[in-house]
Structure 1
Amino acid sequence: MTNQTNEEKFSSRLGFILTSAGCAIGLGNVWRFPYITGKYGGGLFVAIYILFLLILGIPIVTAELSVGRASRKSVMRSFDVLEPEGTKWHAYKWIAMAGNYLLMMYYTTIAGWILLYFFKTARGDFVGLKSAGVAQAFGATTASPVVSVVFMAVIVALGFGICAGGLQGGVERITKGIMVALFVLMVLLAVNSLRLPGAKAGMAFYLKPTPGELTLHTLPETIYAAMGQSLFTLGVGIGSMGIFGAYIGKEKRLFGEGVTIAALDTVIAILAGVVIFPACFSYGVKPTSGPPLIFITLPNVFNHMPNGRFWGALFFLFMTFAALSTVIAVFQNIIANFRDVTGLPLKKSCAVNAVLLIVLSLPCALGFNVLSFVQPLGAGSTILDLEDFLVSSNIVPVGSIIYVLFITARAGWGFDGFLSEVNTGTGLRFPGGRASRFYMGVVLPVLIAVIMIGGYLG
């Protein structure tokens, strides 16, 4: 069996940055970040979030990138290469691999709905509908097993079709185009929202610090929400960042690359709020979290907006790009893992996994209709909720803890090896010394454990 990962590399640093940022930038940036920012104190939450992004998210991204670059392999082989003989760090690879599949088992269904809504909005299907009519339209979408399965399958086929073109010819080339289009659309949408009559009130709600509203009761909730968002937004813990580390050279220090990826992710998240809150305030529509925000609240907003059909279509096109950038990145990780295990050629690996992902995604796509009686987390819950809980509250935090322990433990790769790798090249230097090792090996695992416990309590 031959390893496939170290045979490929990005053609440019820009390709690496945009593809890695595309992995991090996804649906959570648009419907989760704006909502929790407004819920937990506006600008004050943003400040706390950025703090935790610096002290929690970026170090973990850096750790994962370093393991990938040092090993030149996917998560299915990276621990095997770097771990001391006789240790069992490599056992985590099966959990990481499962995490990638689980994430895509529900993400592809949501991405399929978004693609459908781009066509429906561009066609004018929501024009003239009242709030109840828009809600009913979304209910009809999720209630149709054919619609959900077909558009999920389209997303899977599109994603693996791009990956079949190879790292440079498919993933890097297409993702660079998607990310450029995504940024352009985001700026256009933000400028349009800022021109609306209620923009000032919406922006004040969104970003104006409101420390007076925080109490001893709400402050811990705000800090916890900021911690969770800073960890989950970057897509760490399942090797999706590590695989891109395996594809880059040694010219740049990885700490600076992690900062750049996190900065792009944060810019998109903040811009999403600039799009959403002024628009909602202008037309008296209350923003809500999760699917209702994207599929019910915002179509209502666009119905009230001048040229709303045009702006709505642009928004769902942006959302399609955001979802697809994550799908392509995670699919690339899945393909690299799969090829490292099986040794199959690229196109055959893509074909096998396309069929596999369609089959594995059926429970989620059917969980709102044929399998709606399955409510694994209690009344009203869905299969999507279970899959999201397994990834977000279990695999991501566990994987993040394993990565930071692996680079700091003497029985792991070791902090010296990590520092040597992460500080090779030019750019921001990762600090060394006992304090840094203690922080990475003790403080970070405790913070991540707090996030994990909070997920269970929630």
Structure 2
Amino acid sequence: MSLGATKTREALASRLGFILLSAGCAIGLGNVWRFPYIAGRYGGAAFVLVYMVFLIILGLPVMVMELSIGRASQTNIGLTFETLTPTKKPWHLYGKLAIIGNYVLMMFYTTITGWLLSYFVHTIKGDFVGLNADQVGGFFSTMLGKPGSMIFWMILAVVLGLLPVAKGLQSGVEKITKQMMIGLLLLMLVLAFNSMLLDGAGEGLKFYLVPDFGKMVESGLSETIYAAMGQAFFTLSLGIGSISIFGSYIGKEHRLTGEAVRIIGLDTFVALCSGLIIFPAAFAFGVQPDAGPSLIFITLPNIFNQMSGGRIWGSLFFLFMSFAALSTLIAVFENIISFWIDTKGVDRKKATLFNGIAIVLLSLPCILGFNVLAGFQPLGPGTGVLDLEDFVVSSTLLPLGSLFFTIYCTWKYGWGWDKFITEADSGSNGLGFPKVLRPYFKYVLPAIILGIFLKGYWDIFIA
């Protein structure tokens, strides 16, 4: 049965489609790239435990709020606040800002997705075979110096992300994302199983699965807690309406807290499995597990070069990474295209074509920031256009948007607690929202989110 709540609005064909689409939006580079190296930097298993606590107390309530305003408004984030509270105009401003945030996210996410697609092709062709560690690092540096090549891969990423959106919600976005997510999960299990069978993998599993709080203290307790809070918060892509759009495509059969738990559970499973792929392999080949962002594009190709059948395993790994990145692209593109359909009255294919061209053009500064515009260092020495765009989204719009949603759903000056709870708990199945914790959601949660926001700015501009 369709989950649609109206006759005129498109609807998802199944509950599974909703869960996989929402999880696909949340699952991305934050899970399979950032999570392993942050866990490695802050002590492995001890960090993972702290991270999971904050995932429940920070990520879960904000996700329920975002899904609730999407389902109640039955529209995209750009029109949500005008629909729910038409007379409270100051709230309306964030809707347009959130749509801008979706565009800014695509301005650099398309480039990184292009890198992953190119590495999949280069790995399957055997271009890394025979290269030593310095040559693998040089390969990545050479790629960054070739804007023409990066533009090609970025355009391919845009096309692959927009094609399902152009085909429609059920036949394109839902159908293709379901297949991609199932493929992603299967690839993860195969890769994790292979890593755990490597000689010397046991030390990596111990580092990742056996808590050592002494290591967490060595890394700095306050820094570790902040890192866990930030990772739990940002991994779910909350704050710019990328999740709320899928709430607008479902009916009221199920309470939203239970749905959010399933989405977050799937997101966490992918993050944890990423560690099971990376840490055993890193320890098996004597590689530091806290190698940072270079882990994916420099460290892991070196590991695959040393691994028996590494060309095959490396190809599968970058295929899995590409699926993770493309699932986010498709979800965010759907949010953007829905905004154009709802506000401009254009059909889906025209909206997709126009935005495809726009996003390609908007993505060029990120690519040129590594070569032609390398002298532009907006956030200090060593930074570039990508860092600025990531800062606008990750350190500004995501926390501010989540703060906005929290206040909007819990304070009478916004949508209000009663209306939020009525929407969140609509349905006869699933977990209810914990109403007894209202003071926490109204006062403490906004304070924590504000703290994360201020810490991000402190680290960039003051520390």
- TM category (shorter chain) comes to over 0.9
The answer to whether the aligner puts 1:453 opposite 2:445 as a matched pair is: no
With normalisation by structure 2, the TM-score equals: 0.96
Aligned to 2:66: 64
Asked if the contact 2:82/2:89 (under 8 Å) is kept, the reply is no
Aligned to 2:212: 210
In 2, Cα distance between equivalents of 1:52 and 1:337: 32
After superposition, the Cα gap between the structure-2 partners of 1:144 and 1:252, relative to the gap in structure 1 and judged at 3 Å, is: same
2:361 alignment partner AA: V
With normalisation by structure 1, the TM-score equals: 0.97
1:341: how far off? 2.1
Asked if the contact 1:367/1:384 (under 8 Å) is kept, the reply is yes
2:177 alignment partner AA: T
In 2, Cα distance between equivalents of 1:145 and 1:232: 29
Aligned to 2:286: 284
Asked if the contact 1:23/1:325 (under 8 Å) is kept, the reply is yes
In structure 2, which of residues 3, 8, 13 is the aligned counterpart of residue 11 of structure 1?
13
In 1, Cα distance between equivalents of 2:210 and 2:184: 26
1:442 alignment partner AA: Y
1:228 alignment partner AA: G
Aligned length: 453
In 2, Cα distance between equivalents of 1:41 and 1:135: 26
In 2, Cα distance between equivalents of 1:86 and 1:97: 19
Asked if the contact 1:6/1:247 (under 8 Å) is kept, the reply is no
In structure 2, which of residues 431, 434, 444 is the aligned counterpart of residue 431 of structure 1?
434
In structure 2, which of residues 67, 76, 79 is the aligned counterpart of residue 77 of structure 1?
79
2:59 alignment partner AA: G
Aligned to 1:332: 334
In 2, Cα distance between equivalents of 1:380 and 1:55: 35
Asked if the contact 1:251/1:424 (under 8 Å) is kept, the reply is yes
In structure 2, which of residues 295, 301, 314 is the aligned counterpart of residue 293 of structure 1?
295
After superposition, the Cα gap between the structure-2 partners of 1:427 and 1:349, relative to the gap in structure 1 and judged at 3 Å, is: same
Aligned to 1:47: 49
Asked if the contact 2:201/2:280 (under 8 Å) is kept, the reply is yes
SS at 2:13 equivalent: coil
In 1, Cα distance between equivalents of 2:186 and 2:86: 47
2:245 alignment partner AA: I
Aligned to 2:445: 444
Asked if the contact 1:84/1:412 (under 8 Å) is kept, the reply is no
1:205: how far off? 1.5
Asked if the contact 2:40/2:289 (under 8 Å) is kept, the reply is no
In 2, Cα distance between equivalents of 1:313 and 1:343: 42
CA RMSD of aligned residues (A): 1.4
1:437: how far off? 2.5
For structure 2, the 5+ residue unaligned runs are 1-5
Matches within 5 A, 1:113-192: 113-192=115-194
SS at 1:53 equivalent: helix
After superposition, the Cα gap between the structure-2 partners of 1:215 and 1:316, relative to the gap in structure 1 and judged at 3 Å, is: closer
Asked if the contact 1:160/1:354 (under 8 Å) is kept, the reply is yes
In 2, Cα distance between equivalents of 1:6 and 1:297: 50
SS at 1:390 equivalent: helix
In 2, Cα distance between equivalents of 1:376 and 1:73: 36
1:417: how far off? 0.5
In structure 1, which of residues 235, 247, 252 is the aligned counterpart of residue 254 of structure 2?
252
1:286: how far off? 2.1
1:216: how far off? 9.0
1:448 alignment partner AA: I
Aligned to 2:405: 403
* % identity of equivalent residues: 53
